[in-house]
C-alpha cells in the first residue's frame, strides 16, 4: 500500500539533528544502529532492471574518484523500491571501481526489507529506515531516485540538509527522477555545502526534443519549468541547439547531441565534461545555471 505523502518539514531542515537519529541499536543482529521512526513516506516502489543504468554510468565515470579516494567506501541506495534490483545493480557496478565498496539498500516499508534480505552478500545489505540514514559511518554516495518527487517542493531543502549532514567530506547526495524503463533521467548532485549540478541523460530515439526531459525533472525544479526561470531557459536553449544541429543527423544522434552541448558551452552555459560524456546522451551543467528564482 502506498502511503499518502505527509509533509516533511523543519526542524529537521537543520543538520544538527541528523546524528542523534542514528544512536540506538537495530534489532536485527549485526546491522547498523537506528533509533525512532524512519523519516519519510512509502513510495510506489516501481522498479525495473537497468532503470538506473545511466546514473550508475555517471557514478562510475566522472564521479568514480569519490569512491577511489574514500577512506570508507560506504554507499546508500535510499528508497530502492518494491524489489531490490537497482540496489543489487548499484553494488555490482560500483564494485568495478572499488571492490571493497559497502552498499546498504534502505527502505521505509518493512516487507520490502524482509524480501530483500535473501539477496544479501558481503558488501551488500538492506535496512529499514528513511532520510535519517540508519548506517554507521558517513556515506560517500547516497542515491535517492523517484523518492523526493512525492514531497512538497518546500520540503526538499530540509530533506537535502538532513542527508547532507550525514555525508562524508567528499560525499554526494543524488536526488533524481526517471521514467519507468530508464530512457529519460535527470538528477541533482548535492554535496555537503549545497547543490553542485544538474544532469540530464536521454536515450537516443526516445525523444524529439531535449526539453521532453522536463516531465522527469527533480522536485526542486519540475515546477520551475516556466518562462523566467533558469531551468526553462536551459531547456529552451537545448531545443534550439538541437534543432540547429539537424544537419548533422545523417551522422547520427551522438554527433548531433555533441554539437548541441558544444553550442551551449559556446553560448556561455556552464556545461561540464566533454564529448566522451556527451556522446552518451548526457549533459551536466553547474547548479548556478539552473538555480530556482535566479
Examine the pLDDT at 6 and tell me if it is beyond 70.
no
Contacts of 221 (CB under 8 A, 6+ apart): 186, 188, 198, 231, 290, 292
Examine the pLDDT at 243 and tell me if it is beyond 80.
yes
Examine the pLDDT at 31 and tell me if it is beyond 80.
no
pLDDT, tens only, 54-75? 999 999 999 999 999 999 999 9
- For 263, the grid coordinates are 553550442
Q: Is 61 left (phi over 0), alpha (psi -120 to 50) or beta?
A: alpha
Examine the pLDDT at 218 and tell me if it is beyond 90.
yes
Examine the pLDDT at 12 and tell me if it is beyond 50.
no
CB 129 within 8 A of CB 92: no
Beta strands in the chain (DSSP E): 74-78, 102-107, 124-128, 141-145, 172-178, 184-191, 194-202, 282-286
Residues of CATH 3.40.50.150 domain(s) within the chain?
Answer: 15-192
CATH architecture of 15-192: 3-Layer(aba) Sandwich (3.40)
pTM above 0.85, yes or no: yes
Amino acid at each position: 500500500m502506498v502511503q499518502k505523502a505527509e509533509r516533511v518539514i523543519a526542524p529537521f531542515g537543520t543538520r544538527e539533528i541528523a546524528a542523534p537519529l542514528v544512536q540506538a541499536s537495530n534489532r536485527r543482529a549485526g546491522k547498523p544502529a537506528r533509533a525512532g521512526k524512519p523519516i519519510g513516506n512509502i513510495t510506489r516502489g516501481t522498479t525495473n532492471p537497468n532503470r538506473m543504468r545511466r546514473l550508475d554510468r555517471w557514478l562510475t565515470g566522472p564521479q568514480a574518484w569519490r569512491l577511489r579516494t574514500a577512506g570508507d567506501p560506504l554507499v546508500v541506495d535510499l528508497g530502492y523500491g518494491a524489489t531490490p534490483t537497482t540496489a543489487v545493480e548499484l553494488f555490482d557496478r560500483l564494485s568495478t571501481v572499488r571492490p571493497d565498496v559497502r552498499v546498504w539498500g534502505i527502505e521505509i516499508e518493512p516487507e520490502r526489507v524482509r524480501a530483500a534480505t535473501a539477496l544479501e552478500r558481503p558488501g551488500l545489505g538492506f535496512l529499514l529506515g528513511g532520510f535519517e540514514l540508519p548506517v554507521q559511518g558517513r556515506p560517500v554516495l547516497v542515491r535517492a531516485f523517484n523518492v523526493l518527487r512525492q514531497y512538497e517542493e518546500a520540503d526538499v531543502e530540509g530533506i537535502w540538509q538532513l542527508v547532507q549532514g550525514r555525508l562524508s567530506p567528499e560525499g554526494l547526495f543524488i536526488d533524481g527522477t526517471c521514467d519507468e524503463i530508464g530512457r529519460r533521467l535527470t538528477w541533482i548532485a548535492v554535496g555537503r555545502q549545497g547543490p553542485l549540478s544538474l544532469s540530464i541523460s536521454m536515450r537516443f530515439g526516445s525523444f524529439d526534443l531535449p526539453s521532453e526531459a522536463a516531465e522527469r525533472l527533480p522536485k526542486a525544479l519540475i515546477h520551475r519549468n516556466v518562462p523566467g526561470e533558469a531551468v526553462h531557459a536551459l531547456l529552451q536553449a537545448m531545443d534550439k541547439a538541437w534543432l540547429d544541429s539537424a544537419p548533422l543527423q545523417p551522422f547520427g544522434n551522438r554527433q548531433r547531441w555533441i554539437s548541441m552541448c558544444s553550442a551551449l558551452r559556446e553560448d556561455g552555459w556552464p556545461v561540464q565534461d566533454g564529448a566522451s560524456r556527451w556522446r552518451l546522451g548526457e549533459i551536466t551543467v553547474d547548479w548556478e545555471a539552473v538555480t530556482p528564482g535566479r
